[in-house]
Amino acid sequence: MPSSTRSTRRRRRLAIGDLYQLLAYCTALDLRDGHLVYVGGVPATHTLRGAGTRLHVHVVDLSADTPSLLGDVHRIVSQVVACSGGVETAEG
């Protein structure tokens, strides 16, 4: 089996394990939304039927220039705040 295939399968197993762990936290804390941030990959939202829990996968590219990276981080923070129903505050 090519090493790229093994690597892809390993990443998928890790991602599934991360999603299950996030679901456990959301269940224990009675949260509707949980968020994971990965370096690389594909952003996604998984909605679990019955529970109504949404697991959000966010992606940042650490090889990007600083303004792009900060834009990614700001976008993720905005999405987390929107899911929480909270109000984003600016610290200066």
Q: How deeply is 22 buried, as exposed, middle or buried, from its count of CB atoms within 10 A (0-12, 13-18, 19+)?
A: buried
Number of C-beta neighbours around residue 11 at 10 A: 13
Q: Mean per-residue pLDDT for 33-62?
A: 91
Answer yes or no: is pLDDT of 92 > 50: no
The pTM assigned to this predicted structure is: 0.76
Both tokens of 7, joined, read: 């690597």
Give long-range contacts, CB 8 A cutoff, 24+ apart: 45-49.
46/19, 48/23
pLDDT of residue 49: 84
Answer yes or no: is pLDDT of 11 > 50: yes
